[in-house]
């Protein structure tokens, strides 16, 4: 059974992504960097497949950014474990949002989750 996400993605500020990841070209460097800036503070929650955090986050990214299906899944890859998330410094914006990440955190979002989210929107 999938449970509700403890992070409220509905009222997040998505401009870190939408201001840098713009069409029609959607440059991979800017899109992936901004996606990591947004998602890494919530890596633990997004990676928890017992919650709807990943699908909820991608629904709102798509609502605010109107991105093509699979954009981040196809462009943003760093290894088989997902995107590497850097350690967050104390008192960072992520801490203010009540999120945390460690040096070994990964945003591991299966391509199937990313694609299914875009198909549902």
8 domain-assigned: no
Domains held by the chain: number: 1
> If you search the block for the tokens 């899109």, which residue do you land on?
31
Read off the pLDDT of residues 9-61 as tens digits, 9 standing for 90 and up: 999 999 999 999 999 999 999 999 999 999 999 999 999 999 999 999 999 99
Which residue would you say has higher pLDDT here, 16 or 98? 16
| The token pair that represents 58 in the structure block | 């991608």
- 42 located within any domain: yes
Asked if residue 92 is part of any domain, the answer here is: yes
Task: Tell me which residue range forms the domain holding 89.
Answer: 14-120
Average pLDDT over residues 61-86: 88
Checking if the pLDDT of 69 tops 50, the result is yes
Q: Is residue 103 part of a domain?
A: yes
- Residue 35 domain-assigned (yes or no): yes
pTM: 0.73
Q: Does residue 5 belong to any structural domain of this protein?
A: no
Asked if the structure places residue 7 within a domain, the reply is no
Residue 116 lies in a domain: yes
Q: Can you give the pLDDT at residue 116? A: 36
């Amino acid at each position: 059974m999938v449970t509700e996400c403890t992070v409220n993605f509905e009222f997040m500020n998505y401009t870190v992504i939408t201001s840098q990841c713009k069409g029609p070209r959607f440059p991979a460097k800017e899109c992936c960097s901004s996606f990591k800036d947004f998602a890494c503070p919530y890596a633990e929650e997004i990676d928890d497949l017992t919650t709807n955090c990943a699908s909820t986050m991608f629904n709102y990214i798509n609502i605010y950014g109107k991105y093509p299906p699979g954009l981040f899944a196809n462009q943003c890859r760093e290894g088989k474990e997902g995107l590497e998330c850097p350690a967050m410094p104390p008192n960072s914006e992520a801490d203010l949002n009540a999120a945390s990440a460690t040096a070994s955190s990964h945003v591991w979002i299966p391509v199937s989750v990313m694609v299914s989210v875009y198909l549902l929107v």
